[in-house]
Amino acid sequence: MSNVKVRFAPSPTGNLHVGNLRTALVNFLFARRHGGHFMLRIDDTDTDRSTAAFEESIRADLVWMGMQWDSEDRQSARLERYDAALQQLVADGRAYACYETPEELALKRKAQLSAGRPPVYDRAALNLTDERKAAFESEGRRPHWRFLLDNSEVAWTDMVRGDVSYHMSSLSDPVLFREDGRVIYTMASVVDDIDYAITHIIRGEDHVTNSAAQIQLFEALGATAPVMGHVALLAGADGEGLSKRLGSLSIGQLREDGTEAAALASLLARIGTSDPVVPCADMTTIIEGFDLSRFGRATAKFDPAELAQVNMRVIQQLGFAAVADRLAALDVGGGEAFWLAVRDNLEAVSEAEYWWQVCTAPLKPVIEAAEVTDAAAELLPAGDLGDVWGDWTKSVGAATGARGRGLFMPIRLALTGQARGPEIAPLLPFIGRERILARLRGETG
């Protein structure tokens, strides 16, 4: 596969969430896997809801994910091009003006449904005389423009769904321009894809019907439609549609909650496929393992609990260099040795701050078995604390008869105040002799 060019075309009317990030990621991975081009196209023709703040948020999320784009453009800078494409369709008899109000269209749909017919636009506007159109114009009505579908079957081989076909008689002629002159996604998207030589369109399965109509629009504008791929939408862990909470879960919120970009990419690159999710700490490995043909038609299940597990396993792969700046911002010291001591027990990198405080800040110890902790204080070896754990605990066990949990848990509780956490042995140098002795004796230290 050569000369692959794909696009991610978000509308800056909100923050990226799990669902649309997955679309962006699949396009990015497909492009990189085939040595292709990944374009960012800002679909900002909805001037009422598009904001610069949302656009910057989208860009920030993509950068955080490591999904750098190769080129970009925005639809608001191409309005004249869409107008020219409309005029071409009008001249070719493939676009026509319609004057029905939204209320009139709603009444038509209601009547069709009541009669048991599909709510397909009746093409009444094709029968309007010039006089009638002029009368509407004099009333202050402005036309919206529709694309005249050819009532034939449209078929394509989908990269995910296989052979797909739709007969256009079951669809309404799609609106291309609103009555206020604003271009509709259906039109703008196709014109952009033609002008930028997009080779593959990969998006959610909710666009399958749109794709059928757009294929005819590509052809009407003198182009061949790109290869299509429609991936299954995300659902919750129970197989039901994503709840409002999960479906709108912003990428910014996940980042604030401690999710690693690599963990999110690892999960979203594999859910919906027949392959197991493999936690990867770098995007290069994720790209190398990506295969769009592995995606199936079954609903993809997104489970926050699974993401949390993947996140922990990704953190366990992170070297100190990957987190040094973040640890410094949290005032976490200890360098690489401390990071390696705690990383296997972290659900988020930021939790390293907690364990640094456990080691270095005053702490009220929990004394569960004083005979064990007193003996531990008496028997703490002199010298370097970096390699004393094994011999120290053996001597404490010999002196007290404590074994297993009865030996190790009292020492852990005294030194950290927690029943769970990183291994104690590598933490000893960071706690320090003075604090160790104080805590073992039940003193705040």
* Residues 279 and 263: beta-carbon distance below 8 Å: yes
CB atoms within 10 A of CB 110: 11
Calpha distance 334→339 (Å, rounded): 7
SS3 percent helix, strand, coil of the chain, rounded to 5, is 50, 15, 35
The CA distance from 158 to 373, in Å, is 67
Strands (E), 52-193: 71-74, 95-98, 144-147, 153-158, 162-167, 175-177
Fold of 80-177: Glutamyl-tRNA Synthetase; domain 3 (3.90.800)
What pLDDT, on the 0 to 100 scale, is given for residue 31? 98
- Are the CB atoms for 153 and 103 separated by under 8 Å? no
Three-state DSSP class for 412? helix
CA–chain centroid gap for 107, Å, is 39
Question: What is the C-alpha separation between 146 and 148, in angstroms, rounded?
Answer: 6
Residue 66 pLDDT:
96
CA angle, 233 as apex, 47 and 113 as ends, to 5°? 75
Which of the 8 DSSP states describes residue 301? E
Evaluate whether 193 touches 202 at the Cβ level (below 8 Å): no
For residues 310 and 263, the answer to whether their CB atoms sit within 8 Å is: yes
3 state SS of 14: coil
Per-residue pLDDT tens listing for the chain (445 residues) = 669 999 999 999 999 999 899 999 999 999 999 999 999 999 998 888 999 999 999 999 999 999 999 999 999 999 999 999 999 999 999 999 999 999 999 999 999 899 888 899 999 999 999 999 999 999 999 999 999 999 999 999 999 999 999 999 999 999 999 999 999 999 999 999 999 999 999 999 999 999 999 999 999 999 999 999 999 988 876 666 554 455 557 899 999 999 999 999 999 999 999 899 999 999 999 999 999 999 998 888 899 999 999 999 999 999 999 999 999 999 999 999 999 999 999 999 999 999 999 999 999 999 999 999 999 999 999 989 999 999 999 999 999 999 999 999 999 999 999 999 999 999 999 999 999 999 999 999 8
* Position 440, amino acid: L
- CATH code: domain 1-69+232-317 is 3.40.50.620
Is the separation of the CB atoms in 144 and 178 below 8 Å? Answer: yes
The structure tokens 């160790």 sit at: 436
Cβ neighbours, 10 Å, residue 111 = 12
Read off the pLDDT of residues 76-131 as tens digits, 9 standing for 90 and up: 999 999 999 999 999 999 999 999 999 999 999 999 899 888 899 999 999 999 99
Q: Are 189 and 9 in contact (CB under 8 A)?
A: yes
Which residues 6+ apart lie within 8 Å of 146 measured at CB?
A: 95, 96, 98, 121, 125, 173, 174, 175, 176
Please, which residues have CB within 8 angstroms of residue 1's CB and are 6 or more apart in sequence? 34, 36
Q: Where are the domains of the chain?
A: 1-69+232-317, 80-177, 320-360, 370-440
Q: Closest Cα partner for 30 from 417, 231, 292?
A: 292
Q: For residue 34, give the DSSP letter.
A: T
